[in-house]
Amino acid sequence: MDPRFDVELVAVTKRYGATVAVDSISLRVPKAGYCCLLGPSGCGKTSTLRMIAGHEGITEGDLLIDGRNVTDLPPRARGTAMMFQNYALFPHLDCLDNVAFGLRMRGVGKAERHRRAHTFLELVDMGGYAKRLPAQLSGGQQQRIALARALIMQPRVLLLDEPLSALDPFLRVRMREELKRLQRELKITFIHVTHAQDEAMALADVMVVMDGGEIRQVGPPAEVFERPVSAFVARFIGGHNVLPWQGNMIAVRSDHCTLDRSGRGPSLKARVSNVEYQGPTVRVALLTSDGLEAAVLLSDHVFKESLVSTGDEVTFSWPEASAHRLAA
């Protein structure tokens, strides 16, 4: 029993018949940490979350929450609360009753549960919507209600299944900030499943990159970004060129590469396949003579000096120190 961790997975496996969705993963989430499970669809991240929540049985292995083995306990007895991807608000109940639902199930009297539901509606800035039905709310508002409904259970661990994927990009960034603020203020552990690396990087204290039912890398976002362990992680995190170099695979950050023809250090010949203006930076997509894809991220003033355009033959190079060797 280690009190430093809120959630501990010990060799947790999920099988559906013959297919293995999650393959013996072990993970420790520190107390009051923000943990993001990141990976492409079908990587097992949602199954993992659902196993922690207790909505999916654990085939093998153990799950500890606050040092207590909860592998065979129902959701409520685990001290977790889940926020569902489609929010799963009860369509026949107004916002107040949606938020108060868990208290009602626990037998809390009407006046008391409504009073507490009101405070949680205020917490998510939805105080004025108590009497609205979910169908009368926008996606972002529904999400706040779902968040309040989960938080009112005062969970030790809040589980979020792709909470931002249904929102438009603008709202996504705002909700992202809000989630982080709530997590800081409430001092509870958030486990957040997402397939968007920018989301994971913005939020996570601990980032868990998954693929094929296994964990590929765990660490703080900066560490994962600066030192990806494999080609998969480097590609999935984005912002890297994965290249074979002197018999090894290396990852080089696109923003460390240059199109400097005089460049010292390693270089490759390539043709510009696309130029994307992104505001402060310009992304120049390249195709090497060996048919490898790469990209260079130039700041806009550097781009203005070099002025390459689609179809140009260029030499791109990177400082030796920026090349990061990948495991096979």
Partner 1 sequence: MDALANAPDILSATAENTRHREWRLPRRAVSWLQVLPLTAILVVLFALPTLLFLVVSFFDYDRTGIYPAFLLDSYREIFTSASTLRVYGSTLKFAAIVWAITLFLGFNIAYFLIFHVRNPKIRIIFFLLCAIPFFTSAIIRTMAWIPFLGRSGVFNQAVMGLGFTSQPLSFLLFSDFSVVIAYVHLYTLLMIGPIANSLSKIDRSLVEAARDAGASRWQIMAHVIIPLSKTGIALGSILVITQVMGDYFVVRQMSGGQSASIVSALSVEIQAMQYPPAAANAIVLVVIVALMVGCLLRIVDVRKELMK
Distance (Å, rounded) from C-alpha 97 to C-alpha 300? Answer: 52
How many of the other CB atoms lie within 10 Å of CB of 327?
10
Q: Per CB under 8 A, does 192 bind partner 1?
A: no
Residue closer to partner 1, measured from CB, 97 or 211: 97
91 CB burial (10 A radius; 0-12, 13-18, 19+): exposed
Distance (Å, rounded) from C-alpha 51 to C-alpha 297? Answer: 40
Residue closer to partner 1, measured from CB, 78 or 253: 78
x/- letters, 29..68, toward partner 1 (CB under 8 A): ------------------------xxx-------------
Please, what's the b/e burial string for 236-249 (b: 16 or more CB within 10 A of its CB; e: otherwise)? Answer: bbebbbbbeeeeeb
Q: Per CB under 8 A, does 147 bind partner 1?
A: no
Q: Per CB under 8 A, does 101 bind partner 1?
A: yes
Q: Per CB under 8 A, does 74 bind partner 1?
A: yes
Q: Per CB under 8 A, does 73 bind partner 1?
A: no
**Least gap, CB of 154 to partner 1 (angstroms):** 12
Distance (Å, rounded) from C-alpha 269 to C-alpha 271? Answer: 7
Per the listing, tokens 């917490």 go with 123
How many of the other CB atoms lie within 10 Å of CB of 141?
18
Which residues inside 77-96 make contact with partner 1, applying CB under 8 A?
80-82, 84-86, 88-92
Residue closer to partner 1, measured from CB, 81 or 252: 81
Residue closer to partner 1, measured from CB, 82 or 323: 82
Residue closer to partner 1, measured from CB, 35 or 152: 152
The residue from 31, 104, 132, 271 that contacts partner 1 (CB under 8 A) is 104
How many of the other CB atoms lie within 10 Å of CB of 312?
15
Distance (Å, rounded) from C-alpha 193 to C-alpha 160? Answer: 6
**Least gap, CB of 213 to partner 1 (angstroms):** 22
Which residues contact partner 1 (rule: CB under 8 A)? 53-55, 74-76, 80-82, 84-86, 88-92, 101-102, 104-106, 149-150, 153
